[in-house]
Structure 1
Amino acid sequence: MKASDLLVKCLESEGVEYIFGIPGEENADLMMSLSESKIKFILTRHEQGAAFMADVYGRLTGRVGVCLATLGPGATNLVTGVANANMDRSRLLAITGQTDSHLLHKESHQNLNVVKMFEPITKWSWSIRNPQNIPEIVRRAFKIALTEKPGATHIELPQDIAKRESDIPPIGFQNIFRPKANQDQIKKAAKMILEAKKPLLIVGNGCAREDESTQIRKFVEKTKIFSINTFMGKGVIPDDCETHLQTIGIKSADHALQAVLEADVIISVGYDLVEYSPKMWNSDLNKKIIHVDFTPSEVYTFYRPDVEIDSDIGAAMESILEEIETLQSQHPSFDSFPRKEIPEIFQKVRSEVIDRINMFKDDDAYPIKPEKLILDVREALDHKDIVISDVGTHKLWISKIYQTFEPNTCIIPNGFASMGFALPGTIAAKLVFPKKTIVAMTGDGGFLMNVQEIETAVRLKLPIIIIVWVDNDYNLISTKQKHEFGKSVFTEFGNPDFVKIAESFGAKGFHVKSSQEFEQSLKDAKLVQDKPIVIAVDVDYTRNEVLLDDSFPSYVK
C-alpha cells in the first residue's frame, strides 16, 4: 500500500471523522488518499482556524480532533491553535507535509525544522522517515493525545516518504483503562472531610473532559458540601445547585474567593494549575488539600496535597462518598453530612453571586451592559445548547454571569487563552451537534482575527450565531492598563460595517441599536437554518472595574 494511503487507513482505524485544514504541494499525495476515504475533509480559510476547530472537536467528543497543513508557513500558521489545545488539555493531532527527506539536512525552499518547532507545544512530535513505521507512529500519536493529561501531538510526512509503499496493516484504536484509587488514600480523604468544619470542593477542567459529572453531582447532593468551579469546569455542577458558589478565577476580585479563604479543607477535583494559581487561595500554606485527579499533582509551593488520589475522578468521588457513609455509620461522634449548620460565609457568597447575576436583568440601557447581554443569551438558549467564548473582557463576564447546567455547554479557553478561538470553534461544535443552537461570543478584536472562517460556515451551510461585543478597543488590555497606570494606550481601533462584512460572505448580519432589538435578533437568528448569523451589539464596559477590584469588604472579618 502507498504510504499516504496507509496513513489514511490508520486514521480511519482510529475513528477519525473530520480533518480540518488547507492542502499544499507537499501533502498532495495525502490529499489524494483522503479523497478516496470516508473521512470528511473540511477546507478552512486559515490553518489557525483549522487547529481551533480540531481543538473544539476534541473537547466535545472525547476523541482526537485532527488538523492538517503543508510545510513551512502552513505549519507555522497551526502553531497558536495547537498550543491552545495542548495547554487547555484538548485532544488534537496536527499533520503537516514536508519537503523530500533527502533535503532536510540543508537549506531548501520553505524548509524548517517543524518537528522541533512543535515540540514545546505538543506532548509528542515526530517525522515519518520509514513507511513501515506509520501504523506505530499514528497509534502512538493518538494514544499520547488521549492519555491524561490529554493534549496535542504532531506527525510530519515528507512528500517522498508519502509515495513509498508499506505492507504493515493499521494497529487501530485501543481503549485506555485507569487504575482504581488507593483505598488507604480514600479512607484518609473521607476522614479528613468528616473532621473538617468548612470543607469546599473545587471543580476543574479535568471533570469536564470525561463523563465525571454524574458522580460529582451525586457527591454534592448527598453531602451538601459547597463547591466552586474554574472557568473550564463550568457546568459539571449546575449553577442552580443551592450549594454551588459558581466560578472562580479572576484573582482577588472573585466572589467565591472569600469562601475559599475561609475553608479549612479543599477537595481539589480535576483542578488544573494552568487556570488559576493556588497562590491566590493558599498563600499562607494553611489549607488541607485533597487532590483527586487522573494524574499526580504538580510540584508547586502553594499546592501541597495532604491526600493524593490519582485515578478515575468519578470512581474516586464515588468511593470517597461510600467511605464517608461507612465512617458515619460506624462513628456517630463524627459531625455527619449533610450538616444542619451551614457556614455563614458560604451562604453570603451564594447570595451575593445570585444578586450580582440578576442586578441588571431589567436594564434596558444601550449600549447594553455585559450582565444584561449575557442574561438575554441565556434566556434564548436551552440548557444543552452551547456557548463558545473567545478571549477578552467578555470572557470574564461570561465566566461569572452565564448560568451553565451541563458540562461542555459553555466552553472558555483558559489555559493558553488565545484570541480568535470562538468563531472557528462554533463551526466544529455545529458539525458535532447539528441540532443544538451554537453561539460564539467574541469581542470585536478577536472576531476579526479569524473572520475569514465565516466563508467556511457559509459553504457548509451551518447556522451558527456569532455575537460580536463592540467597543472599538482591546478592552481587557485597556482595562488592566487603566487599573494599574490610570490610563490606557495603543488599544483603540476602527471597525468595519459588521452587517456588510457578514453579507459579503453570504451570511446574515445585524447591528442592533437597543436592548429590545438584541432580544429580537436572537429570536430571529434561531429561525435561520442554512447560514451563519452575525449580531453586532454595542457594549457598555464601564462596570469592568468590579472584575479587577471588588473585595466585598462586608465579608472580611
Structure 2
Amino acid sequence: MKASELAIKCLEAEGVSHIFGLPGEADIDFLDALKDSSITFISTRHEQGAAFMANAWGRLKGKPGVCLSTLGPGATNLMTGIADAFLDRSPVVAITGQVELLKFHKETHQYVDIISAFRPITKWNHRIEKAITIPEVVRKAFRLSAIEKPGPTHIELPEDVAAEEIIAEPLPFQDINYPEPEPHLIKKAVEVLRNARNPIVLAGNGVIRGRASAALRNFVEKLEICGTTSFMGMGSLPADSPCFLSTVGLQLRDYVSCGFDRADLVIAVGYDPVEFSPEYWNPERNKKILHIDFTPAEVDAHYKAIELVGDISTTLNLITESSDFKKDSSYYLNLKGITESLLDGPFNGFPLKPLKIVKELRTVLGRDDILISDVGAHKIWIARFYPAYEPNTVIITNGFSSMGFALPAAISAKMLYPDKKVVAAMGDGGFIMSLGELETAIRLGLPVVYLIFNDDGYGLISWKQKLKFGRDFGTSFGNPDFKALAESFGAKGYRIEADDELAPILQDALSQKVPSIIDCPVDYSENFRLTEALGRIICPT
C-alpha cells in the first residue's frame, strides 16, 4: 500500500471518525486514500476554522480532534486554532502536507519550516521522513495529545513520502491510566482539611477533562465545603448546588474574592493557572493549597502546594471516604446570596442590556444544552452570570482566548450532540472573523443558533481603554445587515428591534432546521455599571 493509505489506516485504528480541513496540492495522496476510508472529511472554508472545529471536538469528546491542511499558507493558517488548543488544553492532532524532501535544501515554492513554526504551540511535532515510521508517529501523536495536560500535536507528511510504497500495519490503540496518590498523602490531605477553618474549592477545566465532576460534587456536599469554578470549569459544580459560589476569573474584585480573602486553605482541583493566576487569589502567598490534579503543580511563588498527583476522581473519592467531618460553611452561604444579587434589575431598555440577554439565553436552553461563547465583552457577562449545571455545557476559550472560535466550535458541538440545542454567543467582531464557516454549517445541515451581541465595535477593548485612559481608540467599525447576510447564505436571519423580542425569537430560531443568525443590539454602557458595582464591594464580616 502507499504510505498515505497506511496513515489513514493508523487514523482509523485511533478511532478517528472525522477530519476537518482544506484540500491542497501537497495533500492529494492523503486525500485520495481518505476517500476510500471510513473517515468523514469535513471541508471547511478556512484552515483556522478547521483547527477550531478540531479543538472543540477534542474538548467535548475527550479524544483528539483532527485537522488537515496543505503546506505553507495552509499550515500557517492553522496556527491560531492550534495555539488556542495548546493553552485551552484541547487534544488535537494536526496533519500538514509539505514539499518533497529533496527540495528542503533550497528555496522552494511555498516551503517554510513548519516544524519550527509549530514547535512553541504543540506538545510534540514531527516530520515523517521514512514511511516505515508512520505507525509509531501516529500512535505517539495521539497518545501525547491525549495525555494530561492534553494539547495539540503535529505531523508533517511530505509529498514524496506520502506516495511511497510500504508494507506495515497500524499499532493498536492503548488506554491511558493514571495512578492514585500514596496513602500517606491522602492522610495528610484529610488532616489539612480537618484543621482548616475556612477552606474553599477552586475547580478548573481538569475536572471536566477527567470526568471528575460527580466525584467533586460528592466531595463538596459531604464535607460541606463551598467552591468556585474557572471559566473553563463551568458546570463542574452545578450552579444550583448550595455549595457553589460563583465563577472566578474576572481579574476585577468580585464577591467571590471575599471568599478567597477569608480562606486559609484553597483546594485547587484540576486548576490551571493559565486561566486565573494564583497571584490574584493568593497575593500574600500565605494560604495553604491542596493541589489535586493529573500533573504536578506549576512552579509559582504564589502557589506552594501539597500535591496529590493522579486521577482526580480517584483522589477526591479517597479523600471523601476518609473524611468523617463537615466544615462550617455559614460565611460562604451568606456570601453566595450576596454574589447572586449583584446587578439585580432593572433589565428593560433597547439596545438590550447584556445581563438581560444572558438571562434570556438561560431561559430557552435546557440543563444539558450547549452554549459556546466567543471572546469579547459578552464572554465576561456569560462567565459571571450564566448558570451552568452540567460539565461541557458552557464552552469558553480562556487560555489563548482567540476571537472567532465560537462559530466553528458550534459546528463540532452540533455534530457530536445533534439532539441538544446549541447556541453560539459572539460579538460582531468575532462573528465576522469566522463568517466563512457559516457556509460549512449550512452545507452540513446543522441548525445552530448564532447570537450576535452587536455594538459596532470591539467592546471589551473599548471598555478597558476607557477604564484606563478615559477614552477609546481604534475600536469602532461598521457592520453589514446581518439578517440579509444570513439569508444570502441560506440561513434564517433575525434582527432584534425591541427588548421583549429576544426570547420568542430565540425559541423560533431553535426550532429551525437550518442555521440561524440573530442580530441583537447590545448596550455596553452596562459594562461600566458592572465595574462600578464591583468597585463598591465590601466583604461581609
Q: TM-score range by the shorter chain?
A: over 0.9
1:391 is matched by which residue type in structure 2?
A: V
**Aligned partners of 2:166 and 2:221: how far apart in 1?**
56
**Aligned partners of 2:358 and 2:237: how far apart in 1?**
19
1:290 is paired with a residue whose SS is strand
Q: CA deviation at 1:343?
A: 4.0
Q: CA deviation at 1:548?
A: 4.6
Partner of 2:106: 106
Match of 2:471 among 460, 465, 487: 487
Partner of 1:355: 341
Partner of 1:458: 442
Partner of 1:82: 82
Match of 1:542 among 498, 519, 525: 525
RMSD: 1.2
Partner of 1:271: 271
Indicate conservation of the 8 Å contact 1:253/1:548, yes or no: no
2:17 is matched by which residue type in structure 1?
A: E
**Aligned partners of 1:502 and 1:173: how far apart in 2?**
43
2:242 is matched by which residue type in structure 1?
A: E
1:96 is paired with a residue whose SS is strand
In structure 2, the CA distance between the partners of 1:186 and 1:551, relative to structure 1 (3 Å rule), is farther
1:394 is matched by which residue type in structure 2?
A: H
**Aligned partners of 1:505 and 1:76: how far apart in 2?**
27
**Aligned partners of 2:262 and 2:98: how far apart in 1?**
56
How do 1:129-528 residues align onto structure 2 when only pairs under 5 Å count? 129-305=129-305, 307-325=306-324, 336-337=325-326, 339=327, 341-344=328-331, 346-356=332-342, 359-360=344-345, 363-528=347-512
Q: CA deviation at 1:105?
A: 1.9
1:457 is matched by which residue type in structure 2?
A: A
Higher alpha-carbon deviation: 63-72 or 516-525: 516-525
Indicate conservation of the 8 Å contact 1:396/1:547, yes or no: no
**C-alpha distance after superposition, 1:95-144 (max 9, x if no partner):** 00001111012210000001111000000011010000000000000000
How many residues align? The count is: 540
Indicate conservation of the 8 Å contact 1:270/1:293, yes or no: yes
Indicate conservation of the 8 Å contact 1:468/1:536, yes or no: yes
**Aligned partners of 1:551 and 1:287: how far apart in 2?**
24
**C-alpha distance after superposition, 1:501-527 (max 9, x if no partner):** 111111111011112211111110111
**Aligned partners of 1:205 and 1:439: how far apart in 2?**
21
Indicate conservation of the 8 Å contact 1:119/1:125, yes or no: yes
* Residue 533 (str. 1) matches residue 516 (str. 2): yes
2:409 is matched by which residue type in structure 1?
A: G
**C-alpha distance after superposition, 1:231-281 (max 9, x if no partner):** 001001100111211200011332211111110100010000100010011
1:280 is paired with a residue whose SS is helix
**Aligned partners of 2:339 and 2:515: how far apart in 1?**
34
Q: CA deviation at 1:347?
A: 3.0
**Aligned partners of 2:43 and 2:311: how far apart in 1?**
37
Indicate conservation of the 8 Å contact 1:367/1:539, yes or no: yes
1:74 is paired with a residue whose SS is helix
**C-alpha distance after superposition, 1:416-447 (max 9, x if no partner):** 00000000000000000011111000000100
Indicate conservation of the 8 Å contact 2:242/2:333, yes or no: no
**Aligned partners of 2:338 and 2:408: how far apart in 1?**
35
Q: CA deviation at 1:283?
A: 1.1
Q: TM-score, normalised by structure 2?
A: 0.98
**Aligned partners of 2:120 and 2:329: how far apart in 1?**
46
Q: CA deviation at 1:410?
A: 0.2
Query: Can you give the 5+ residue segments of structure 2 that lack an aligned partner in the other structure?
Result: none
1:553 is paired with a residue whose SS is coil
Indicate conservation of the 8 Å contact 1:253/1:547, yes or no: no
Partner of 1:333: none
2:501 is paired with a residue whose SS is helix
2:339 is matched by which residue type in structure 1?
A: V
Q: CA deviation at 1:556?
A: 6.4
Query: Can you give the 5+ residue segments of structure 1 that lack an aligned partner in the other structure?
Result: 326-335
**Aligned partners of 2:525 and 2:28: how far apart in 1?**
52
